Amino acid sequence: THIITSPCIGTKDQACTEVCPVECIYDAGELFLIHPDECIDCGACVPACPVSAIFPEEDVPAGEEPFIARNHEFFGA
């Protein structure tokens, strides 16, 4: 899956939602989050985000690891 991290907070640009082919990016309040069971890892959302908030789960930068659990737990995964 892909993971949305802290730069989304306060930005919520939503360009990612427009390019996602499976519409698996949801408004979670202060940021958007990706449903891990629906994401097909196409990567289209990564360059679409103007604040570079989205990463493949295995490439989440140091310090942003708490957002991995946040993306999973929001959807009960």
Binding region for ligand SF4 (CB under 6 A): 2, 19-20, 22, 24-25, 34, 39-45
Is the CB of residue 74 less than 8 Å from the CB of residue 28?
yes
Which of ligand F3S, ligand SF4, none binds 3 (CB below 5-8 Å, type-dependent)? none
Cα separation, 77 vs 72, in Å, equals 5
Please give the full DSSP string across 2-17, using - where no structure is assigned. Answer: EEE-GGGTTT---HHH
Least Å from the CB of residue 45 to ligand SF4:
3
Which residue, 43 or 66, has its beta carbon nearer to ligand SF4? 43
51 is a contact residue toward ligand F3S (CB under 6 A): yes
> Residue 20: CA atoms inside 13 Å, Cβ hemisphere, count?
23
In the set 15, 22, 40, 69, which binds ligand F3S (CB under 6 A)? 15
